[in-house]
Amino acid sequence: MIRFILGRFAGMILVLFIVSVVTFGIFQIGPIFANASPVFYYIGKAPATPQLVAALEHRYGFDQPIPVQYFNFIGGIFGKSITDGVSQTVQCPFPCFGYSFRQNELVSVLIGRAIPVSVSIIVGAAVLWLVGGVAVGTASALRPGTFIDRAGMTGALAAVSLPIFFTGPVLLLIFVYGLGWLPTIQYASLLDDPLRWLQSVILPWIALAFLFAALYARLTRSNMLETMGEDYIRTARAKGLDRRTVIVKHGLRAALTPIVTIFGIDVGTLIGTTVITESVFNLRGLGYLSIQAVTQQDLPIILGVTIVAALGLVIANFVVDVLYAFIDPRVAV
Amino acid sequence: MSIGGPTEFEAVTAADGMNTDPSGDDAPADIQGRSLASIAWRRLRRDKVALAGGVVIVLFVLVAVFADLIAAVYGQNPDRQNNLGPTSPINDVTGLPNGAFGGISPEHILGVIPLSGQDLFINLVYGARTSLSVAITATALSLVLGVSLGLIAGYFRGWADTVISRTMDVLLSFPTLLFSIALIAVVSYINSDPAIRFYILVFVLGFFAFPYIGRIVRGQVLSLREKEFVEAARSLGAGNIRIMFREIAPNLFGPILVYTTLSIPNNMLGEAGLSFLGLGLVGTPSWGQLLSDANQYLQVDPFYLFLPGLAIFIAVLAFNLFGDGLRDALDPKSTR
């Protein structure tokens, strides 16, 4: 087991390494094709004399070989002093992703501010979609072919076909502008103002959960149907156990194991990829930060957010793999 | 690629073409062997929902292909602004469409876009062209990469399999959406040619999706390569290339077809999502772009939001329904 965990850990580090190399590479190799200086990606498309460009390249280390630049960047994550927007030297502690000259702030500070917003959205939505999806899927699987099953599965197929940038505005239209049950979305921290926090995240939860619940319902249904057809289920019924016990203790338990795996990975993937949800509901999470950085061509932020998102993803993968190995020890052999 | 959507491509069940017993259907009077394709077609023909999806798909494809013809007959084009003059459908003061439901009139059957007065119907028609062309090309890219690499990995095994499988694992744990955003940002910074956006969109949607079909193909090939007909072909002197493409590949038809019909709607959503974020094609109408524009008029002209939203919904749902039906029809375990 220890060997398995170490192996997976090494895999996780490898993926992180590759993601960082590729992301860094885009920004370093891209300019070569355009005969432009990478400096522009950091300071924006400002008109500058060749001398100034050269001086800036030297200051930010772009005149060094690319591998050296990469290791400087990675080493820099653990803390270094950098030059800020007004040429002051500031200390950039771990995790340091450089300085955003557009927003005049350390990238790590910006990311640190955005993470609670994204996490608030994801955690609430995840609980909703897991409960909702499994409930609908189980209900469908227990009465295959009936009206409940058909309604559930048709609804689920319709829901996967609805993009969040359509359901989101429709929800806003109904609950904020139409019925007026909710105020216009203004994010507040859970600790500062719990009511406003809930008011700002409830619609994103519903919109996200709607999409994911549909997939989980379909998955639960097919897993459940397969499990309920197994011999041991029949044996349990034959022993005289009541239907409810068999469904919950024997059926659902086995059917849910693969779903929990996917659930872990989905939650990990969502860190940083709730871009559209955040932009529909105007919430300043990680996704919003990165899309704003794209429009402002503020590349240190994009680089930082991408690496943080990759970290979320590989950690989720790692945790799921290890948990799975504990649930089903055959995996680790 | 999934746009804020679930990571796992929905299990495209492998419809193994081999050893299918044709007796599942109503038994024919005289026993005759039926090919998998004919069995699947018989099942599909009875699946009304899937067929309805198929009809809608054909309609969308026709609209996309004949967009120019529709524009000529209809007498509008997506760029034409109708916001000046006494007969303009746009209110001079508010900039909103005159009349109910976003300014529906005989000239503008689905109304007009606020401020510019561009015709919404013809924008949706050209949006279908954008959506389908990006989605189909991206799917083709992931198919070419996924099938050929999956074939190589499954057929040769050994180090080729290790390299390809590991690469696919890494790609599957990539923060795809953020990476695409970064890539599109850098590329459009280097090259502002609008045409380049098409290629980059196709690349990010198609390239990151190839491991899904690659894994399916690899798994299938691993079992197919041990079958007797492969051994027979080899004993007749067939080379590796011939065995891979002429003997094994035709048996992958089922899973590939199912993957294709389920990957196109995924890519349509991906294209619309990136367009919604302002990272889509430049200079051509797209549904995602229209939705993002409609968001600005959410309170004053909600009708504008519903039309592109419905267009995406109907098109994607049609592909999903058809793909689902196809999967059931091609599944040898299915008794329908």
Q: How far apart are the first and last CA of chain A?
A: 8
Q: Establish if B184 touches chain A: CB-CB under 8 angstroms.
A: yes
Q: What does the alpha-carbon distance between residue A121 and residue B150 come to, in Å, rounded to a whole number?
A: 37
Structurally, how many domains does chain B consist of?
A: 1
Q: Which of B140, B131, B134 is nearest to B63 (CA)?
A: B131
Question: Please, are residues B209 and B120 in contact by the beta-carbon 8 Å criterion?
Answer: no
Q: How far is B191 from chain A (nearest CA, A)?
A: 8
DSSP assignment, residue A106? E
More confident residue, A184 or A113: A113
Whether residue B323 lies inside any domain: the answer is yes
Q: Which two tokens stand for residue B10?
A: 């929905």
Under the banding of pLDDT at 50, 70 and 90, the label for residue A127 is: very high
Q: The domain that contains B304 carries what CATH number?
A: 1.10.3720.10
Query: Residue A98 phi/psi, 5° resolution?
Result: 95, -165
Whether residue B8 lies inside any domain: the answer is no
- pLDDT for B333 equals 61
Q: How far is A174 from chain B (nearest CA, A)?
A: 10
* Residues of chain B falling short of pLDDT 70: 1-34, 82-95, 98-104, 106, 117, 332-336
Q: Establish if A266 touches chain B: CB-CB under 8 angstroms.
A: yes
- pLDDT for B100 equals 66
* Chain A residues within 8 A of B309 when measuring between CB atoms: 163, 166, 169-170
Residue of A171, A175, A276 to mutate, interface with B, max B Cβ within 10 Å: A276
Whether residue B168 lies inside any domain: the answer is yes
Q: Which of residues 262-301 of B touch A (CB under 8 A)?
A: 265, 269, 272-273, 276-279, 288, 291-292, 294-295, 298-299
- pLDDT for B59 equals 93
- pLDDT for B2 equals 46
Q: Which of B222, B261, B181, B241 is nearest to B12 (CA)?
A: B261
- pLDDT for B133 equals 92
Q: Establish if A130 touches chain B: CB-CB under 8 angstroms.
A: no
pLDDT in tens, A140-182: 888 887 888 888 888 888 888 888 889 988 998 888 888 878 7
- pLDDT for A331 equals 63
Which of A45-59, A154-168, A180-194 has the least mean pLDDT? A45-59
pLDDT in tens, A192-250: 888 888 888 889 999 999 888 888 898 888 888 888 888 888 888 888 888 888 888 88
Q: What does the alpha-carbon distance between residue A208 and residue A139 come to, in Å, rounded to a whole number?
A: 21
Whether residue B93 lies inside any domain: the answer is no
Taking an 8 Å cut-off on Cβ atoms, the answer to whether B174 and A310 are in contact is yes
- pLDDT for A43 equals 63
Q: Establish if B239 touches chain A: CB-CB under 8 angstroms.
A: no
Q: Which of residues 20-49 of B touch A (CB under 8 A)?
A: none
Whether residue B313 lies inside any domain: the answer is yes
Which of A83-97, A274-288, A307-321, B240-254 has the least mean pLDDT? A83-97
Q: Which two tokens stand for residue A30?
A: 């891209």
- Vertex A214, ends B42 and B323: CA angle to 5°? 25
For residues A105-133, average pLDDT: 89
Taking an 8 Å cut-off on Cβ atoms, the answer to whether B305 and A160 are in contact is no
Q: Which residues contact A302 (CB under 8 A, 6 or more apart)?
A: A290, A293, A294, B178, B181, B182, B185
Q: How far is A236 from chain B (nearest CA, A)?
A: 25
- pLDDT for B264 equals 92
Q: How far apart are the first and last CA of chain B?
A: 32
Question: Please, are residues B98 and B87 in contact by the beta-carbon 8 Å criterion?
Answer: no
Taking an 8 Å cut-off on Cβ atoms, the answer to whether B181 and A170 are in contact is no
Q: What DSSP element (H or E) covers A83?
A: strand A80-83
- pLDDT for B12 equals 44
Q: Establish if A263 touches chain B: CB-CB under 8 angstroms.
A: no
Q: What does the alpha-carbon distance between residue B297 and residue B303 come to, in Å, rounded to a whole number?
A: 9
- Vertex B117, ends B111 and B120: CA angle to 5°? 40
Structural domain boundaries, residue B258: 58-80+119-330
Q: What does the alpha-carbon distance between residue A233 and residue A246 come to, in Å, rounded to a whole number?
A: 7
Q: Which of residues 185-214 of B touch A (CB under 8 A)?
A: 185-187, 189-191
Nearest Cα residue in chain A from B184: A294
Question: Please, are residues B12 and B216 in contact by the beta-carbon 8 Å criterion?
Answer: yes
Q: What does the alpha-carbon distance between residue A40 and residue A50 come to, in Å, rounded to a whole number?
A: 12
Average pLDDT over chain A reads 81
* Chain B residues within 8 A of A276 when measuring between CB atoms: 3-4, 273, 276-277
Q: How far is B44 from chain A (nearest CA, A)?
A: 18
Just give the CATH number of A111-332: 1.10.3720.10
Q: What does the alpha-carbon distance between residue A39 and residue A202 come to, in Å, rounded to a whole number?
A: 41
- pLDDT for B20 equals 44
Q: Measured on CA atoms in the order A111, A113, A116, A119, is the torsion positive or negative?
A: negative
Q: What does the alpha-carbon distance between residue A112 and residue B17 come to, in Å, rounded to a whole number?
A: 52
Alpha helix stretches (DSSP H) within A172-297? 194-228, 231-238, 243-245, 253-270, 275-281, 286-295
Q: What does the alpha-carbon distance between residue A248 and residue A245 come to, in Å, rounded to a whole number?
A: 5
Q: What does the alpha-carbon distance between residue B205 and residue B200 come to, in Å, rounded to a whole number?
A: 9
Q: Which of residues 307-326 of B touch A (CB under 8 A)?
A: 308-309, 312-313, 316-317, 320-321, 324
Q: How far is B9 from chain A (nearest CA, A)?
A: 10
Q: Establish if B171 touches chain A: CB-CB under 8 angstroms.
A: no
